[in-house]
Amino acid sequence: MEEAFKAFEDAEITAWKHYGEETPPRQFLVRPSGSLTSPIAHRLNQPSFTTNIASNGETADRTNPCISMVMGTAYPKNALLYDQIHRRDHESHGYTHYPPRVRAAHFSFSQDLFETSRAKVELVYGKKTGRAIMENPLIKKTVVPLCGKYSRVNLIIVHEESCRNAQPGFLYRKVLILAYHPQRLFYEQLGSKYLERQEYSIATAAAMAGVHHIPGYYSHRMWIKLQPPSKLRHLETVLGRQNLRAILAAIENPKIVQEEAFTFPMPSGEGIEDEDPNWETSFVHNPHSNTKLLELLPAAIAAQNQVDEEWTDPSSFPEPVFEWWKGQKQILFYQSKVSGLQSIIPVLQKCQAYRNKWHPHEKQLEISIDMQSLREVVGQLMVIQNELLHAGGATKLEYSDAIHDRFDGEAYPMKCSGCGTEASPIEQPSFTIYRPGFYVCRSRISCSVCQKRQRLVPRDHEQYVNTSSVYGRGEKLTKRSRAATTLIRPQEHRTEEQCQSVECVCVKCHESRIDEEPRWTVGTYRPLYIERRMICTSCSTNGNGERSIPSDSKIPSIIPNVPDSLSNFYSACEETTIARIMDSWPASARP
């Protein structure tokens, strides 16, 4: 493997020279770790500069917190650990931003590792890594969903014919299991669905490979207690490769190496500003609802007032404050990324200005806080949010448990849904928590142009839902909207045949009925019709309706609760991954 890596180093540097680019430092190429004879392999996307050993390093680097988490379980001494892009990068964007020949050199070396390793089970961490595999047309694969205890896990079986060193007489080469990137799990609390899913994925891979897995390592956040202290991890990483003086110096001055980093030319000619990933990864995908905020804010405000220690980042927040914080991305910080105190202060200033509008006859409220204190700035945001929620009567609104407001007073341009005439903007728009960024239409106007009372919709985009009607077809403002965004095919992506009504029959009495608004799952080759429960005049006695299936036996279908349950797991996956899973998902049995 050492000789192959040296050959790859030469090929990669040659590829950069082909484009006339400045040749990046050779020492920032990272060697794979472990043995090709390991029973299990771990694959990640790309090494970063979050390390104490930036130059001439290898993938098994315990000074990197993500790698340390991976190496804590299902990791025998000779475990193969490698990246699909082998060069350190601040943003880990090599998969999309490196020139084609450079990417090809990296992918070729990664494919060599994949094909020559004896591991029959490989864990693939992160969306970028999984997407590179799932979107590769040269890799023939079959997705097999498990059942029972491991029903949340899917096996991606790679066919033997996809490998350049394919052996005759064999059908399959190895099994891939997708897992979350470790960075996604750092701020998840006990009981998080992401921790539970990771636990099942790793446990499945360990059982299939016959390696030891520590039960509860992810679901109980045991990596925090089990991994060695940072100094010992550093010593373990460099021992045997540097002299004792270098080891001691590194232990005395541990740091994240950034000053040596090589800045790669981006396709647009512009670099990407460095950001602290701890801030953005602390947010969850779905924002808190107004009802949830009113439940969380009293405890969060009380926790902020009870401590005097200064906060540094989200990891230092008291637990009630962090619970409030992680649902604020779409509420407070929807316009920019958060990288520290200086990116929070402008949001506070906007919220303060908007709060003053609610007190027109009183003296303008002043911010009597230390603007250099993260604890006080965040505390003031919570106070303002709590005031505006009560002043606006948030709990009295219908669907208050499914929508959230914004509190910065930013004007939201609107138009008439009938004729498109621009209307007056609103200052406190509401959005659904199940489809982040989708505006909830609650207002109507008597339009002077179309002479009708019409609903107000966003002027600049079509991302909106109605509280009482539907978005597209059959996607109401309820918790099932999560399934609609992941497993149900959007109206604009349906074929002409899929938009037509479907003739169905009751599975119990065979009474005919027509589904005027059929729903279909996503997929590339074989979409599934999503069955409905309809009230049947002949056999429905409990008022819940009976299952209806297509009259045409050639139309595969799926029972309606399957997309809802599957979406709880696959909502965070890439669209291409979801499409492949649904293409291979078994259709419901017909009576």
The C-alpha atoms of residue 35 and residue 427 are separated, in whole angstroms, by 60
> For residue 237, is pLDDT > 60?
no
**Beta strand 412-416 with 422-426: parallel, antiparallel or unpaired?**
antiparallel
> For residue 577, is pLDDT > 80?
no
> For residue 151, is pLDDT > 80?
no
Nearest to 563 by CA among 533, 525, 526, 519: 519
The C-alpha atoms of residue 549 and residue 557 are separated, in whole angstroms, by 7
Question: Residue 534: CB partners within 8 Å, gap ≥ 6?
Answer: 504, 506, 513, 545, 546, 548
Residue 228 pLDDT: 55
Q: Tell me if 583 sits within 8 A of 142, measured CB to CB.
A: no
Q: Summarize pLDDT for 54-100 with one digit per residue, the tens.
A: 888 899 988 888 998 999 899 998 999 999 999 998 888 888 888 88
Residue 541 has φ and ψ, to the nearest 5°, of -115, -20
Question: Residue 313: CB partners within 8 Å, gap ≥ 6?
Answer: 276, 278, 279, 282, 340
> For residue 125, is pLDDT > 90?
yes
The C-alpha atoms of residue 288 and residue 464 are separated, in whole angstroms, by 18
Q: What is the mean pLDDT of residues 34-63?
A: 89
Residue 512 has φ and ψ, to the nearest 5°, of -80, 145
Q: What is the mean pLDDT of residues 26-35?
A: 92
CA dihedral of residues 194, 200, 205, 208 (deg, nearest 10):
-170
Question: At which residue do the structure tokens 């099932």 appear?
Answer: 480
Q: What are the boundaries of each domain within the chain?
A: 2-252, 278-405, 412-466, 489-584
Region of poorest pLDDT, from 395-404, 425-434, 509-518, 560-569: 560-569
Residue 473 pLDDT: 28
> For residue 360, is pLDDT > 80?
no
Task: Tell me the pLDDT of the chain averaged across its residues.
Answer: 79
Q: Summarize pLDDT for 198-217 with one digit per residue, the tens.
A: 999 999 999 999 999 999 89
Q: Summarize pLDDT for 401-436 with one digit per residue, the tens.
A: 788 888 888 888 988 887 888 888 888 888 888 777
> For residue 519, is pLDDT > 80?
yes
Q: What is the mean pLDDT of residues 274-288?
A: 73
The C-alpha atoms of residue 174 and residue 114 are separated, in whole angstroms, by 9
pTM: 0.46
Residue 254 pLDDT: 40
Q: In which band, very low, low, confident or very high, does the pLDDT at 469 lie, cut at 50, 70 and 90?
A: very low
What's domain 2-252's architecture? 3-Layer(aba) Sandwich (3.40)
Q: Tell me if 53 sits within 8 A of 64, measured CB to CB.
A: no
DSSP, residue by residue, 432-451: ESSSTTPEEE--EEE-TTT-
Q: In which band, very low, low, confident or very high, does the pLDDT at 186 lie, cut at 50, 70 and 90?
A: confident
Tokens representing 353 are: 């200005």
The C-alpha atoms of residue 571 and residue 106 are separated, in whole angstroms, by 30
Percent of the chain at pLDDT > 70 equals 80
Q: What is the mean pLDDT of residues 288-295?
A: 90
Highest mean pLDDT among 332-336, 399-403, 481-485: 332-336
Q: What is the mean pLDDT of residues 534-562?
A: 75
How far, CA to CA in Å, does 97 sit from each of 44, 78, 163? 17, 32, 26
Inter-helix orientation angle 244-252/230-238, to 10°: 150
Amino acid type, 490? P
Residue 40 pLDDT: 95
Using DSSP's 3-state secondary structure scheme, residue 225 falls into: helix
291 Ramachandran zone, left/alpha/beta (phi>0; psi -120 to 50) = alpha
> For residue 264, is pLDDT > 70?
no
Q: In which band, very low, low, confident or very high, does the pLDDT at 356 lie, cut at 50, 70 and 90?
A: confident
Name which residue leads in pLDDT, 135 or 486: 135
Name which residue leads in pLDDT, 437 or 320: 320
Helix (H), strand (E) at residue 40 = strand 40-44
Tokens representing 108 are: 């070729």
- Number of Cβ within 10 Å of residue 285's Cβ equals 12
Inter-helix orientation angle 374-391/290-306, to 10°: 140
Question: At which residue do the structure tokens 């299936």 appear?
Answer: 549
Residue 236 pLDDT: 52
> For residue 553, is pLDDT > 80?
yes
Residue 278 pLDDT: 66
Residue 410 pLDDT: 87
Q: What is the mean pLDDT of residues 91-116?
A: 88
> For residue 482, is pLDDT > 60?
no
Q: Summarize pLDDT for 375-406 with one digit per residue, the tens.
A: 999 999 999 998 888 877 665 666 777 888 88
Q: What is the mean pLDDT of residues 557-563?
A: 80
